[in-house]
Amino acid sequence: MNVTSKQIAELCGVTRGTVDRALNNRPGINPETRAKILRVAEELGYRPHFLAQSLVKGHTKTLGIVLFDIHNRIFSQLFHAFEAEARKRGYIVYLVLSNRNKELELEYINNLLDRRVDGIALLPANFNKKFESFLLRSRTPIVTFGNRLAGPFPYIWIDDKQAIRDSVAFLASRGYRHLFYVSPPLRRKGKENIYVPEQRYNGFVEACEAIPDMRFNVIAQKYYLDELNDLIEKTDGKRAILCSSDVYALEVLKWLKSRKIRVPEQIGLMGFDNIDVLNYVNPALTTVDYNVNAIGTGLADLLISRINEEEVPAETLIAHQVVPGESVSP
Amino acid sequence: MNVTSKQIAELCGVTRGTVDRALNNRPGINPETRAKILRVAEELGYRPHFLAQSLVKGHTKTLGIVLFDIHNRIFSQLFHAFEAEARKRGYIVYLVLSNRNKELELEYINNLLDRRVDGIALLPANFNKKFESFLLRSRTPIVTFGNRLAGPFPYIWIDDKQAIRDSVAFLASRGYRHLFYVSPPLRRKGKENIYVPEQRYNGFVEACEAIPDMRFNVIAQKYYLDELNDLIEKTDGKRAILCSSDVYALEVLKWLKSRKIRVPEQIGLMGFDNIDVLNYVNPALTTVDYNVNAIGTGLADLLISRINEEEVPAETLIAHQVVPGESVSP
């Protein structure tokens, strides 16, 4: 039941042309008539037809962003920064959540394309050629983050491999010589896009192998606490648990406390992401920090540049650093 | 650069009518031609014109949701449930964040209306008559949550007043006779919509006044830790801090730890919301739990019912309960 300019014209006793002139602030209309038309339009709750205008103009000033979820704080922090930058540049943002489900991701991208978003920021769960050619056929600017696609889609994130190398070096410098690497997403290899978990895994293995007396285990299963329990009981020496995300490190810390295993006295613990929740956790978790706001802002900027048909770098990497906490011994 | 049905017709050597029959799965076309048209449409990345169809059908199968932010976990949990229910019912969701800014809220609602969302779920920061008549003029179904408007907008949330009454009764039953109530949003009274903080405040004062020997202070300022510090130093007896949200209780807990004030031995502490972060915090925080998923799901359900022009209750209240943790003495 939307008000049309025709109805306004009838109520004001003028032509539709006159109404259009008033509403679009064009000349050729006397000020009193203009004021009257604007007042009537306001009273009726008239809205210019944005969708119809979009069809004509060919853009909607709308961006889509596809995230796995916003349970993980790192994604909600990233979204806040993305949304703020988009808004500053005159875009409204549609957030959709794939829940790491490949079919759902496709459905949502289709939905966004149906609604003619001007561009999509994508954390991909899909990864094959078919998916990439689907994206290319959409003729819609797409920028990826978090996971990578093989095709020509700009990517913004951090250097995950180097960040884990730095983590291993940090733990080694503190005297740890046996590391347990916890990364449950690795178990989805071949089933979904795990570019980032694989980068981190490769960095871990390379860095450990470069240290002669370093022993290590990789735990990729869903019930990682069970495997961790076995490994802790079967091993000794100065050991640390390195988790591929803070969300796992928090679960491990909670479990260690329940088992009365003291951190860092009996075992070291390190996370990745420096999510804001860590503010409230004791002992303070050693982790890898990176400027997630810079990623969110940069993501919006890259996407809008692509929409404006500007050249952008294929890869933008944001700096990271190890943040020493109390969960690793001095 | 979108593919049109005309281009498909030319490539296939058929009329546009035949293409339309194939794409819309209507009879009167031989199976081979249909298969060929569908294959060509797929190869070209053809998309039926959703926006144009929306203009004709008068709906977009899109919902808007306006939240303050997703930093507060309670909002991200609510959004997940809302989005899942909307998706199940065939709607895509646009999330926008007002950051408690009244002008920005208006701008975003205008944006959503411009994009012809079928309905809006609104956590209002605005509160006056003018805002309400703006919403009514939009002729768009709106359901509110978290804060209330005076006008005829269905509302879903919890009984905040009763929940704080229950919290005070719980603390009294544990022997506490001096309560410090921390609720910084109260300082925005008259400036923005603080319906929920006021309900909780009223419940607090009423419940305390009903207990003859209960003393209490209300802390509404932004730098609540400073005031809390003064009050703790100036008072004695069995005291507890009751916070209007877990996010404040977590800050208070962190500060008490830094001051080496033991919880609950030296002072009791209670939050509100039972956000999932509490899982990782020691001592376990006593708080008020309610089913935020039920609110998110119910919100989507109410909104879709309104869109379908069904009657819905003016008010839907979800149950709450005090969850005893370790931050209040037995």
What is the band of B94 on the pLDDT scale with cuts at 50, 70, 90?
confident
Cα angle at B156 between B172 and B309, to 5 degrees?
165
Residue A34, pLDDT > 90, answer no
- Of residues B94 and B265, more confidence is placed in B265
Q: Do domains A60-157+292-315 and A160-290 have the same CATH topology?
A: yes
Dist. CA A116–CA A109, nearest whole Å: 10
Mean pLDDT of the residues in chain B: 91
Q: Which of B97, B137, B277 sits opposite A280 (nearest CB)?
A: B277
What is the residue-wise DSSP string for B224-260? HHHHHHHHHHH--SSEEEEESSHHHHHHHHHHHHHTT
How big is chain A by its Cα radius of gyration, in Å? Answer: 26
CB-neighbour burial class of residue B223 (10 A; exposed 0-12, middle 13-18, buried 19+): exposed
Closest alpha carbon within chain B to A277: B277
CA distances from residue B264 to A142, B172, B285 in whole angstroms, order as listed: 52, 14, 10
Residue B243, pLDDT > 80, answer yes
Give the distance from residue A66's alpha carbon to the nearest chain B alpha carbon, in angstroms. 12
Dist. CA B33–CA B164, nearest whole Å: 68
User: Is A250–B280 a contact, with Cβ atoms under 8 angstroms apart?
Assistant: yes
Per-residue pLDDT at A72? 81
User: Is A52–B55 a contact, with Cβ atoms under 8 angstroms apart?
Assistant: yes
Three-state SS for A203-245 is HHHHHHHCCCCCEEEEECCCCHHHHHHHHHHHCCCCEEEEECC
User: Is B55–A60 a contact, with Cβ atoms under 8 angstroms apart?
Assistant: no
For domain B160-289, the CATH architecture is 3-Layer(aba) Sandwich (3.40)
Cβ within 8 Å of residue A16, ≥6 positions away: A5, A6, A9
A166-216 pLDDT per residue, tens: 999 999 999 999 999 999 999 999 999 999 999 999 999 999 999 999 999
B282-313 pLDDT per residue, tens: 899 999 999 999 999 999 999 999 999 999 99
Question: Residue B141's Cα: distance from chain center in Å?
Answer: 17
Contacts of B52 in chain A (CB under 8 A): 55
CATH number given to A160-290 = 3.40.50.2300
Closest alpha carbon within chain A to B110: A47
User: Is B76–A80 a contact, with Cβ atoms under 8 angstroms apart?
Assistant: no
Give the distance from residue A155's alpha carbon to the nearest chain B alpha carbon, in angstroms. 23
A123-142 pLDDT per residue, tens: 999 998 999 999 999 889 99
Strand partners, A268: A240
Residue B104, pLDDT > 70, answer yes
A74-133 pLDDT per residue, tens: 899 999 999 999 989 989 888 888 889 999 899 889 888 887 899 999 999 999 899 999
- Of residues B177 and A40, more confidence is placed in B177
User: Is A281–B280 a contact, with Cβ atoms under 8 angstroms apart?
Assistant: yes
Residue A147, pLDDT > 50, answer yes
Give the distance from residue B55's alpha carbon to the nearest chain A alpha carbon, in angstroms. 7
User: Is B71–A76 a contact, with Cβ atoms under 8 angstroms apart?
Assistant: yes
What is the band of A1 on the pLDDT scale with cuts at 50, 70, 90?
very low
The torsion angle over the Cα atoms of residues A84, A85, A88 and A92, rounded to 10 degrees, is -70
Per-residue pLDDT at A185? 93
- Of 1.10.760.10, 3.90.1310.10, 1.10.260.40, 3.40.50.300, the CATH number of A5-48 is 1.10.260.40
Given a contact cutoff of 8 angstroms between Cβ atoms, the answer to whether A70 and B80 are in contact is yes
Per-residue pLDDT at B47? 66
Q: Average pLDDT in the B59-69 region?
A: 90
Mean pLDDT of the residues in chain A: 91
Question: Residue A242's Cα: distance from chain center in Å?
Answer: 22
Given a contact cutoff of 8 angstroms between Cβ atoms, the answer to whether B66 and B113 are in contact is no
Domain borders along chain A are 5-48, 60-157+292-315, 160-290
Q: Average pLDDT in the B110-115 region?
A: 85
User: Is A50–B2 a contact, with Cβ atoms under 8 angstroms apart?
Assistant: no
Residue A315, pLDDT > 90, answer yes
The segment with the largest mean pLDDT, out of A45-49, B127-131, B206-210, is B206-210
Report the residue count for chain A. Answer: 330
What is the band of B59 on the pLDDT scale with cuts at 50, 70, 90?
confident
- Of residues A59 and A240, more confidence is placed in A240
Residue A47, pLDDT > 70, answer no
Please give the sequence-ordered ranges of beta strands (E in DSSP) within chain B, or none if there are none: 62-67, 92-97, 119-122, 142-145, 155-158, 178-182, 215-219, 239-243, 268-270, 287-290, 315-318, 320-323
Sign of the Cα pseudo-torsion (B161, B163, B166, B168, in order): negative
Say which DSSP state B144 is in. Answer: E
Closest alpha carbon within chain B to A138: B45
In chain A, % of residues over pLDDT 90: 67
Residue A25, pLDDT > 80, answer no
Residue A163, pLDDT > 50, answer yes
User: Is B114–A47 a contact, with Cβ atoms under 8 angstroms apart?
Assistant: yes
Contacts of A109 in chain B (CB under 8 A): none
CATH topology of domain B60-157+292-315: Rossmann fold (3.40.50)
Dist. CA A87–CA A143, nearest whole Å: 17
User: Is B71–A276 a contact, with Cβ atoms under 8 angstroms apart?
Assistant: yes
Q: Which of B154, B155, B178 shows the shortest CA–CA distance to B168?
A: B178
Given a contact cutoff of 8 angstroms between Cβ atoms, the answer to whether B314 and B151 are in contact is no
The number of C-beta contacts closer than 8 angstroms across A and B is 120
Strand partners, A286: A270
Given a contact cutoff of 8 angstroms between Cβ atoms, the answer to whether B7 and B48 are in contact is no
Dist. CA A3–CA A16, nearest whole Å: 13
